[in-house]
Each structure stands twice: as structure tokens, then as C-alpha cells.
Structure 1
Amino acid sequence: MASRQVVWLRIDAPAKPAAGQPCNGCGVCCAAAPCPLSRLLLKHRAGPCPALEWDAPRYRCGLLQTPRRYLPRLPAWAEPGFRRLARRYLAIGHGCDSLATTEEDP
């Protein structure tokens, strides 16, 4: 029997794309579980990622958008390199890899 998880996202967030389609900032994957980068750097193990940020009209990764908010010891000069490495580590731009299925409230 498959388990179910409820995540709450903004009603104006985009719908989750199909696996393999370009990311549209729906936030489903980050709301369902922390990514490997969040687990490693923020020590977050379950539930929504604390770095998930709403930036209308989509969700964005706070570790990429505002890394020093979440990693205050990161020097300002290191931000561009950190962003580059994080995008590569998370395969940003390579399509949706979330296997989560979604449904709206009845």
C-alpha cells in the first residue's frame, strides 16, 4: 500500500511538471523532502526544506538565491562559486526528477 504525504503550497504556484520536463518552480519536490544539499548543509532530514522560498510566481531554492541567509559563514566572495557548484550538484536545469504525484484539495 502506497503511503501518502500532504504538503501545502500556495494556490498560485504552478502545477507540477511531468518527470523529465523543465522545472517550473512548483515547489513540490522541496516541500515533500529536503534535497541532498539541504541534508548536507542545513542538517535537515525530513519535511519541507527550510530553504524553500516563494518568489512570485514560483518557488525557488534559497540556497541558490540567497545562500548567505542559510549559510552565514559563507564569505560573500564565495557565493558565485557556491551557486555554480550547487546548481551542478542538484542538476538544476536537467528536468524534473520528482516522482511525487499531486492532487488538489477536493
Structure 2
Amino acid sequence: MTISDKQHACPSVLAVVAWHPQAPTKPALGAPCNGCGLCCLTAPCPLGMWVSRRRTGACKALLWSDSQQRYLCGLLANPEQITGWHHPWLLRWCSQRAQRWIAAGTGCDANLEWEKLPPTD
């Protein structure tokens, strides 16, 4: 799949990401998040940068859920698995920060154009 970021000066810049074949289609800008994962496959949020130790590319905290057939933020859904932390107060803190930093509940803010590439043999 190729993605171009319409927020930057050069919209012709493309990124190729490995997208789960069962992932839902990206919602329209501002529509409720459906777990398509394209935003996190393209670049991590501030908390994801800390966990992934990178500013570009897929966030290491992004998890695929077979049961829900969607991507989830591991820092929100399962911070213990992502961070290795075990203290309940620290896990709650992490989930709260993740919810705020990924703007959970505010709608899709990934201003991206995407297209699926044909399968390779």
C-alpha cells in the first residue's frame, strides 16, 4: 500500500506500509476511528515515538486484534505488554496519556491518501 501525507508541503512523497489484509478501510477525515491503523503505520504519536525510539515509520506499539479485526494502540489497550511495566498506577497513567496523545474519541486526524498495491507473487 502506498500512502501520501497531505499535511506536508510535498504531497508526492510516498510511503509503503504493510497493512493487514483484514484491516478496515481508512475512514474519512474527522469520522470516528475504526482501527484501520494507517496513522500509526505511517508515523508514531509522541508517546509512540518514545516507545518506538523513532519519529517515522510504523509505531512499535501498534497491535493487530484478530478478535476485533482492527488495529489497536498497545499503549492504550495493553500497556503492560508494550512497556513491560507491572505497577497498576503506572499502567493507568500510560493508558491515560495514550488516550490523550492519540486523541482517542476525537475522530480520524490522519490526512492521508492511500491505495492498495497489487499482490506480489
TM range (shorter): 0.7 to 0.9
Q: 1:60 to 1:67 in 2, by over 3 A?
A: same
What is the alpha-carbon root mean square deviation over aligned residues? Answer: 1.7
SS where residue 98 of structure 2 aligns? helix
State percent identity of aligned pairs. Answer: 42
1:3 maps to which of 8, 13, 38: 13
CA deviation string 1:18-44 (max 9, x = no partner): 110000000101111111111134422
Task: Tell me the TM-score normalised to structure 1 length.
Answer: 0.88
Structure 2 gap ranges (5+):
1-9
User: Is 2:13 the partner of 1:23?
Assistant: no
Task: Indicate which of 82, 91, 97 corresponds to 1:70.
Answer: 82
Please state which structure has a larger fraction of its residues in strand: 2
1:28-77: CA deviation from partner (whole Å, max 9, x where unpaired): 01111111111134422221111111003100011111112222245233
- Contact 1:52/1:61 (CA < 8 Å) preserved in 2? yes
In 2, Cα distance between the equivalents of 1:67 and 1:93?
Answer: 18
| Mapped partners of 2:17, 2:99: distance in 1 | 24
